[in-house]
Amino acid sequence: MALLIGLTGGIGSGKTTVARMLQELGGYVIDADLLCRELVQPEEAAWREIVEHFGDGILNPDRTLNRAQLGKIVFHDSGEKRVLESILHPRVFEEEERRFAGIVRNDPGALVFIDAALLIESGNYRKVDKVVVVACDRHTQIENSLKKGFLSREEIESRIDNQMKQEDKLAYADYIIWNNGDLSELEQNVRSIFEELKALNK
């Protein structure tokens, strides 16, 4: 029997690294952020709705969404954030279900992970069999995020403060992967949880 597992964690927690490790172990990963990017390609239905609401000012010269510009708007206005989520979330959920069904058709015993930063906030955790939260201390979050080079320390700290608190996320977790140690320790933790999940779907 296939299992659908939600994988989540705050900015800089190492969620993407964990998703890659799970894939290497034989799990399937559906990346919610990647689905979002596909759904907002120019002239797609979601793209049209977003442009209609937010205006042409959020577009790059090639008509793709300027995610940084859109992020600035929704990051500082919870009402606008809700509008964006109401456009994207139902479509993302639908596409996740479609892809899960496709995977299960080919591999009935699959372990399928939905890699989603907003798994809990969006309510999508209700649709999965298990929830895995990747967690680490604040210092590690900041250092990991700085390495990516996209955001300043101030911006990272502001995002951490505006995201759902880690301890609140942990309350929803069936499994917690702590990522404060080195890479080999993380690999051991991931492998251990993967084996536990595999034992559930026999």
179-189: average pLDDT: 88
Q: Are 121 and 164 in contact (CB under 8 A)?
A: yes
Residue 100 burial (CB count, 10 A): 19
The confidence score (pLDDT) of residue 12 equals 87
The confidence score (pLDDT) of residue 143 equals 85
Contacts of 95 (CB under 8 A, 6+ apart): 35, 38, 39
User: What whole-number distance in Å separates Cα of residue 43 and Cα of residue 185?
Assistant: 45
pTM: 0.90
The confidence score (pLDDT) of residue 100 equals 96
Contacts of 37 (CB under 8 A, 6+ apart): none
Contacts of 86 (CB under 8 A, 6+ apart): none
Q: What is the pLDDT of residues 123-181, one digit of tens each?
A: 999 999 999 999 998 888 888 888 887 788 888 888 888 788 989 999 999 999 999 87
The confidence score (pLDDT) of residue 120 equals 95
The confidence score (pLDDT) of residue 20 equals 96
Three-state DSSP at 1 gives coil
User: What whole-number distance in Å separates Cα of residue 162 and Cα of residue 71?
Assistant: 13
Lookup: tokens for 51: 């442009």
User: So where are the chain's domains?
Assistant: 3-200
pLDDT at 4 over 90: yes
CA quadruple 91, 94, 97, 101: dihedral, nearest 10: -120
Q: What are the Cα distances from residue 38, in Å, to 50, 118, 120?
A: 14, 17, 22
The confidence score (pLDDT) of residue 153 equals 87
CA quadruple 47, 53, 55, 56: dihedral, nearest 10: 10
Angle at 90 between CA 118 and CA 31, to 5 degrees: 50
CATH 3.40.50.300 is held by the domain 3-200: yes
Contacts of 59 (CB under 8 A, 6+ apart): 51, 65, 66
Q: What is the pLDDT of residues 30-82, one digit of tens each?
A: 999 999 999 999 999 999 999 999 999 999 999 999 988 898 888 888 899 99
Q: Are 25 and 186 in contact (CB under 8 A)?
A: no
Q: Which pLDDT band holds residue 98 (cuts at 50, 70, 90)? A: very high
The confidence score (pLDDT) of residue 11 equals 87
Q: Are 179 and 14 in contact (CB under 8 A)?
A: yes
Q: Which pLDDT band holds residue 16 (cuts at 50, 70, 90)? A: very high
Lookup: tokens for 200: 């559930």
The confidence score (pLDDT) of residue 150 equals 76
The confidence score (pLDDT) of residue 79 equals 92
